[in-house]
Amino acid sequence: MNWYLELTKNSPIIMAMIQFAILGTLGESFSIIIKEKSKWPFGFWMTIKKMFVWATLGVFIKGGFVGTIGFTEALISHNMFPNFSSTLLIALSRSTILCIFVGFVLVMLHRFLDNIIELKQNWSGVVEAMGKMIYIWIPLHTITFWVKPDFRIGLAALWSVVLSIMLTLIKINKAKK
Question: pLDDT at position 176, please?
Answer: 85
Distances (CA, A) of 75 to 26, 38, 59, 105, 149: 37, 48, 24, 21, 20
Question: pLDDT at position 133, please?
Answer: 85
Sign of CA dihedral 141, 144, 149, 154: negative
Model pTM above 0.75: yes
- DSSP reduced 3-state for 83: coil
Alpha helix locations (H) across 37-99? 44-77, 87-98
- Measure the CA–CA gap between 114 and 160, rounded to whole angstroms: 16
Per residue of the chain (177 residues), give pLDDT as tens: 899 999 999 999 999 999 999 999 999 999 999 999 999 999 999 999 999 999 999 999 999 999 999 999 999 999 999 999 999 999 999 999 999 999 999 999 999 999 999 999 999 999 989 988 889 999 999 999 999 999 999 999 999 999 999 989 998 998 888
Q: What is the DSSP string of 94-162?
A: HHHHHIIIIIHHHHHHHHHHHHHHHTS---TTHHHHHHHIIIIIHHHHHHHHHS-HHHHHHHHHHHHHH
